[in-house]
Structure 1
Amino acid sequence: MFTIYNCIAYEHDLRLVVLAAAVCALASFAAINFLNHVRKTTGYMRDIWLCVAATASGFGIWATHFIAMLAYSPGIPSGYNIILTLLSLLAAILLTGVGLSIASGTRVPAGRWIGGATVGGGIAAMHYTGMAAFEIAGRIQWDAALVVASIALGAAIGATALPAGLRDGSLKWKAIGAMLLTLAICSHHFTAMGAVSIIPDPTVAVSEMAIPAGWLALGVALASLAILFLACAGLALDIRERHRAELEVDRMRGLADASAEGLLVCYGDKIVSINSSLTELTGYVPDDVIGKSLAICLPEESLRHRLVTRPRERVEAELRDVNGQFIPAEFILRTIDFAGQPHHAIAVRDLRDRKKAEEHIHFLAHHDALTGLPNRNSFNARLDHEIEVHQVSGQSFAVFCLDLDRFKEVNDLFGHAAGDALLKRVAKCVTAVLDRSQMMARLGGDEFAIIATNLSGPSAAGRIAESIIDTLRIENESSTTASFVSTSIGIAIFPNDAQDGRGLLTHADTALYRAKTDGRGVYRFFEAEMGIEVRDRRMLERDLRSAIARHEFELAYQPQARLDTREIAGFEVLLRWRHPQRGQVPPGLFIPVAEESGAIQHIGEWVLRQACQEASGWTNPLSVAVNVSAMQLHNPQFTQLVHEILVQTGLKPGRLELEITETALIRDFNRALATLRQLKALGVRIAMDDFGTGYSSLSNLRAFPFDKIKIDGSFIKSVQANEQAATIVRAVLGIGRGLKLPVLAEGVETREELGFLGAELCDQVQGYLVGRPADIAGFRYLTHAAESARDLDFPLPHARESVALKIVDR
């Protein structure tokens, strides 16, 4: 070390030493800068830039050596062999070019270190070739140890210079790499010069072909200018590349911000950029994460490892936001060129909406979309589970089947929106009654089912059913559509009634049918004999739906007479069903089934059309009265249907009389009033049927446009034996006279009843005494003037006693 110091301090011109170091540093920086650019290019341009980098570094090593040699003062004549001098320059360029090529490539493992060491070897080759070109009047002796040390220093420091200069392309690491390369060149040169000992020898002469120091200085000056030029070019290139990189970064950031997905760019494990979508997703701003570890957003090391080892593979995991909350997301990593360096771009897709949709789909798979209650699949799974549990425990549980009363009427009359609202209200009310261990499900339509577990006995199930009915009754009192909110309930008990799920549901459904038959709004437990009745009722409903197509319905006509003149005013149409196996089915049996199943709409239309068609063919303009159900009356299309039938059959509207019960009116007062006014506008007559039964209200007589009042036959049968019944009949007749509405008494069967009504000035009568219901052909003498005139003096064929009647043209 002391030898090297003395060499520099006492054997060299320090001013030239400093100049040599400056030229070396400038050349080293230019070489490192060019080498970084080489790594960004491909094809023949890469080879060109590699040659430029090799030239810059080779000239730098050569110029440093010979500037330092000019600074060396041996004190005796000296010169430089031109051939070896040029050969030393060529060696510097070639060997450093090889080293730079290895360092900039990716084929050789640890290529940067090997390339740097190769550059160090080039420094040594250039130096000792240059020393061989040094001619002096004397002999040169070498210190072998320092020679080895100089070569080792150049190779070792050179091996670290290139990895540092190529680390990340930043100015900082470029400068560090240039400093290390400068140190490698200078340390090698002066260590090698320290190994030199010159012994003057007058017998040794300097060749006449040797270049004198002055000429060498000129060559070095030119080389230095070339280095300066290359350094400036490298600096300009670096500035241009940095500007381009900034523009590229801005462009990529603009593209990234335009993406709906979150995007973050990493160099290794460090975040270098994020887009605005990721900021919106996580709350992180760029300053929060740039330069920090990827773990700030992706804390799972296994996830980060999987992304790196499996690029382009979609990975679902959780993303941590600025508040420490985790967001379900999908990640995919791709390698990109970012600012001239390979980076990892990680696309982040927010999966919260998808997860919610998946949860919703899973919910819909097991729940009813309208009410939110479990669906049939969930109910069956729970039922099977409870059967297994209770078989082990030996306890009992109950299955309830619920069906809303007259729900089809709500849909038909008020629309499906009202029906949906009713279903949701019922679900809410009933679930409020149940505890957490009990389950209510919607099986479809207006059918619900309940599982009540761990019951002490059937009475506990009965209390639950009573609570449900009471809750709906209370709901009725606070709702404008309260009359529609009622349910019938059937109950089956495990294991008494059945020991499997299908049997329990079937028996609960059977009990439900009994409840609906017994008046609705009640509950019934399953009993073994119910099965036969329910099957019979269901078969009746099935046959009823096809009765029109099979021509099983018939119409019977019963005459109505004016009491004062004993003239026939018209006929009431009565429906009869002649079943091929059951025979005549009583109306009291099949009409309720038709109303409950909804078949009454089609049956009622058929009756109205047939009656109008028949009456339109009568030569005498007698009226025809047709009963109308509540469902028909509240159907928004009913008025239009009546009008179409009248037009198609040609019947005058004044001859059609529609009989309506008060029960049909109170379900929806405003709708019923609007429909009756529309029918009156057509010219159709309206009669209040069965007055005195059900909801008899004097306000209805005032509010609705009735043309006639019909007293129910149950009162007429009692007028002789029951004074109260007689008083009621007198009161109704008085009301009719006061309102100027004719009153018709139904069910007149005896002369005493007829006499009572005549004494009380009743307007019209109808019953077996006047005529039994029969096919209209039996009343042809009444409906056709030519024949009735001939048969007018004979008694009515269907009257019990002879009553003199004549036809009147109304």
Structure 2
Amino acid sequence: MTHDPAPIPSNDAAPYTAMARLALCSFVYVICALFLMAGLTLIYLSLSLDAREVLHSEADAARALESRQDKIGKVLADNAFWIDAFSYTYGSINMPWAFERDNIGPSLFSTYGLDGVFIIDPNAVTRYSIIDGELSDIDASEWITGDLAILLAKARRESAENEIAYAYFSVRGTPAVVSAAVIRPDSSYDQFDQLSYLVYVDVLTDTKLMVIQEAFDLHGLKANLGNIPDARRPQLRLQEDVGEAVTLQWESEALGRSILNKFLPMLFLLGVLVAMLVKSLRRRIIHASEMIEAAQRALQISEQRFKNVSEAASDWIWETDPDQNLTYLSERFTQLTGLPCNDWVGRPLSELLTYNTTKLVSAAKHCNATRRKPMLCEMRDTNDRLHYCQLFVREAWVGDQLQGYQGTVCDITQEVEAKAHIEYLSHHDTLTGLANRRHLDHYLNDRLNQGLTGDRPLFLLALDLDRFKPINDTFGHTTGDLVLQEVANAISRCTRDTDLVARLGGDEFIVVATDCRTYEDAERLCQQLIEEINQPIRIDGNDVSVGTSIGIAAAPYHGLTAEDLLRYGDIALYEAKSNGRNLFRFYEPVMNERIMERRQLEMDMRQALRRREFRLVFQPRYNATTQKIVGAEALVRWQHPTRDLLSPACFIPLAEETGLIFELSDWVLHEACLNALSWNDNVLVSVNLSPLEFQRNDLVDRIAAVIERTGIAPQRLELEITESVMLEDATSALTMMNKLKALGVRLSMDDFGTGYSSLGYLRSYPFDGIKIDRSFIMGLDQSQSGEALVNAIISMGHALALTVTAEGIETAEQLGKVVELACDQAQGFYLGRPVSPMLFRQVVEEVELS
């Protein structure tokens, strides 16, 4: 079928030329507007940058002064609200205690930079004075210029709320921060008219200002007394309701103005160049518009259209010219794809459908009425959804001249996707979408059959999640499934497209890394996986955390079959879990021997309790001052029939892993309490609890049963708990500890100081005491910082009314230091090694007789 030719438009090029000139004029306006906006934006950003720089430096200065004042305020509060300070300064000042022993002495000048320290009686008379770290007879009111009496009155009011008072005065014409607090024994003491004041003076000298200037980049920092109303910025005005005002001033870098001076000339030069370019383009555009007019008149001709298939068919019809450019699309095309026909007419068919253009020509030549073989192709609809299609084609002739090609397209997407989905399910895990065991086996066998060399090895990473079971038990399997999906996503983020990630079931995953060339590459991948999986996962308002342990086997180094690599990876995984979890380990042949040894040790341990092979030893704990025994820590040993006496480090981790720790713990508790019955009633017995025992709900019942069976007084039993218990589940641990306290037993935090948030636990949990970790005691007599750290821990424990025990005392010097720092109790090899129950009973009796 042919169509009549369309009328040829008139031969008038003026409309197109006018349109070109209008477009060019609009273009010029746009360019000018852009340059104007760019210039104004540059000016605005430069001025804004300078303004933000001023605000930022003012905030830095405020933080610097606030940090310094907070530091001095904490030191002042610690010394003023200290019962020892009250005891040694009330009535008369004990100079050896205050100055010589440096409780309120020269270290305040050397450590905190305090220029003046004063103790002033209730009548504002200076009783004790230190100037620049040296004792002095100078009266505070003579040295400090300002109404000191008002500050002392404010300090008296603030002390009722455990607060201090401070104000700005001048010392020798220099601004200074003067802080004051009442020296009182405790917060309940309210007879302030009989109490003295502790006053700290921090003079804002040039040296101190230079330190702040260098730390916060405040060039030319100066401090001036009084308000300066017209002072330029940046500046910081300091004013309290007592004392004088202080104004800080410094220089701003004015980076914005510097940028403005550099870039405005460049922007002007660029504008000149663009103007010259636009002028040149104007002539070319007018010439091109005239050529387009001529081309439009020449291309307006009649086209021939035909239809060989009905529009009612389910497929859509297409036609092209000999170059495979579309000339016709049936209305069914828009109905099925959502794409407008007019948008595609004139464009190549290959842009609409993905197919081989050469094969289309061949298929059209060999098409006849009895043989129509479709071509497979793909296309995307208006929603960018991929469709799979069958393309039928034939040649279109008019006489002996080829006019083009025509045919139909049939959508077979549903059939292809259904087949692909069935294939996908047979090779992938339904929960995570990762490869399953079948896919993994096929993949490994294919890669291993291709041959591997030392230059292109294959690393198999076996992953097992840590702390996943408690999540399943606590939140349910639905949450557990969500966690597994998040972990699968985390693993996929760390791996490459060429790697294979599989889930074997439960919380076990496999990564086959093909792009790792060396052991170092594999280590980096493992570290990245551990860090990514350790990130908290937010599910239904709860943050849950899991970790992972990784075992690594490599081909061709360790094995050349899928079975061997999986087995060796599992062995290395067990080694990683045995070494503390959240680790990775490469397979080594010696690991097989360790596994066999571990299995034998596990079998021996299951028989050890029945054979009565476990033993208890007791390490005495002494009053640090009187050297009298106040308690003993029960420690378990295993008298192995072939390996001699084994320490807890050899079998406790295995007992925790196999679940035998609960039976062993019951035995230790029972034996320790029975032995304690033969001691003096004032001697405590301490038993360590495993963190795993807090994961079961029967801990309180087990402790109560031991107390009932043995008849021991509950207050004589002390349970030592490590900080990891709180890290696992803080809320559950707090509930469990409150129930234990209800039984009447004592709770002590073991290895205090090794965690990152022990102070928070001490304030929130019902502990009776803390044991300072031996690592701090080892450094006690080696440096002043070590002694200061131990002193801080002891002071903090006493402030919270806790009994403080120093463990790991191995020398007389360490014991002397502990006594000097007023530690309550001490334990260590120097005082007494762990001994059998009989020997400990004799030691207790000898101490009582002496």
TM-score normalized with structure 1 length: 0.48
Please identify which structure carries the higher helix content: 1
TM-score normalized with structure 2 length: 0.46
